[in-house]
């Protein structure tokens, strides 16, 4: 029996997992990321998590460690070039550092690609040759599996599914592009739309639910569930915009299956009818039979995917 360790390095949370070859979880740990302590503090946290999740097995039975990280990195050298929301992470040779500390092979990968890999090997995409995982939360990211392999492209930077323009004359995205799927359809975009409507004086339950704090996606979903008209309009548009981006992915990559994850998809019951009607109206017929469903790995898709980087 051989095991693999996965680490999901996020700006707010750090997750670790020990899985076997079937993706079954033997140990799981989650902690708040000590982001302000810089790379050395966070790496010490990772080190500790590795020891915790692997305590029950012989180290020689562990094949390696996979780490999913946000932001640009060099997947070949395992150097994290920059990690958004993590203080001081510039050109950190994470692979080299962890290999020295643990004496295990370490693979560092983009977190969205890792999640796609996890969902493909152990979740919704199991057995598919052509599969896409999309996460819709603060931003929109994902990974593409084509012909049984992760689509990497030149320099390993393909599959930035959130950064395709779907509104040529739309708002400016954080990436510098205009009208990206992310800047019009992420959870952040949904909240921004609500905030703007409320500032224009539109009456809505959203204000009550947010209770004076900044509007978040789930406030809008909760108001929509209670019949609020503005919130329902916003959720309808959100579902449609998710659908528009998915149609593009169907036409461009022809996946057999797409799995959706991330915070916004927790309100799928509200979004789904609109998302699906856009796909039914807009996708060309041969693409209509692609299966589109929620991640079957849930919140653990990222950390299981990180482990899958080793396999």
CB of 176 to a second copy, least distance (A): 6
Burial class (CB in 10 A: 0-12, 13-18, 19+), 81: middle
d(CA 146, CA 159): 11
Q: What is the DSSP string of 93-139?
A: -HHHHHHHHH-S-EEEEEHHHHHHHHHHHHSTTTT-SSEEEEEESSS
Tokens 């152990």 correspond to 122
**Is 111 or 160 the residue whose CB approaches a second copy more closely?**
160
Q: Sign (positive/negative) of CA torsion 83, 176, 255, 299?
A: positive
CB of 147 to a second copy, least distance (A): 7
Of 30, 114, 39, nearest to 70 by C-alpha is 114
**Is 6 or 159 the residue whose CB approaches a second copy more closely?**
159
CB of 158 to a second copy, least distance (A): 4
d(CA 288, CA 71): 33
CB of 157 to a second copy, least distance (A): 5
C-beta neighbour count of 192 within 10 angstroms: 15
The overall longest dimension of the chain from CA atoms, in Å, is 63
Length of the chain as a residue count: 311
CB of 70 to a second copy, least distance (A): 15
**Is 25 or 158 the residue whose CB approaches a second copy more closely?**
158
- Positions touching a second copy (CB under 8 A) are 72, 128-130, 146-147, 149, 151-161, 163-169, 175-179, 184, 241, 244, 247-248, 251-256, 281-284, 286-287, 290
**Is 14 or 264 the residue whose CB approaches a second copy more closely?**
264
**Is 210 or 283 the residue whose CB approaches a second copy more closely?**
283
**Is 273 or 286 the residue whose CB approaches a second copy more closely?**
286
d(CA 184, CA 186): 6
CB of 88 to a second copy, least distance (A): 21
**Is 39 or 125 the residue whose CB approaches a second copy more closely?**
125
CB of 109 to a second copy, least distance (A): 15
- At 215, list the tokens: 């509007």
């Amino acid at each position: 029996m051989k095991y693999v360790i996965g680490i999901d390095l996020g700006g707010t949370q750090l997750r670790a997992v020990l899985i076997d070859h079937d993706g079954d979880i033997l140990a799981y740990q989650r902690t708040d990321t000590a982001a302000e302590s810089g790379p050395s503090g966070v790496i010490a946290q990772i080190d500790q998590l590795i020891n915790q999740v692997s305590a029950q097995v012989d180290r020689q039975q562990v094949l390696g460690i996979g780490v999913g990280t946000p932001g640009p990195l060099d997947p070949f050298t395992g150097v994290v070039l920059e990690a958004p929301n993590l203080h001081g992470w510039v050109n950190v040779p994470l692979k080299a550092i962890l290999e020295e500390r643990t004496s295990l092979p370490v693979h560092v990968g983009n977190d969205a690609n890792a999640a796609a890999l996890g969902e493909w090997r152990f979740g919704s995409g199991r057995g598919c040759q052509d599969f896409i995982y999309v996460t819709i939360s603060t931003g929109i990211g994902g990974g593409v599996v084509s012909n049984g392999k992760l689509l990497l492209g030149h320099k390993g930077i393909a599959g930035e599914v959130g950064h395709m323009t779907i509104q040529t004359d739309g708002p400016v995205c954080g990436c510098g592009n205009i009208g990206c799927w992310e800047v019009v359809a992420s959870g952040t975009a949904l909240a921004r739309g609500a905030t703007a409507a409320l500032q224009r004086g539109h009456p809505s339950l959203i204000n009550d639910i947010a209770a004076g704090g900044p509007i978040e996606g789930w406030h809008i979903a909760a108001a929509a569930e209670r019949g609020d008209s503005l919130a329902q309009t916003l959720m309808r548009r959100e579902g449609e915009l998710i659908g528009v981006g998915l149609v593009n992915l169907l036409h461009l990559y022809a996946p057999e299956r797409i799995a959706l994850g991330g915070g916004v998809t927790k309100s799928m019951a509200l979004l789904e009818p609109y998302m699906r009607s856009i796909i039914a109206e807009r996708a060309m017929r041969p693409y209509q039979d692609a299966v589109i469903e929620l991640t079957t790995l849930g919140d653990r898709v990222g950390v299981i995917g990180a482990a899958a980087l080793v396999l």
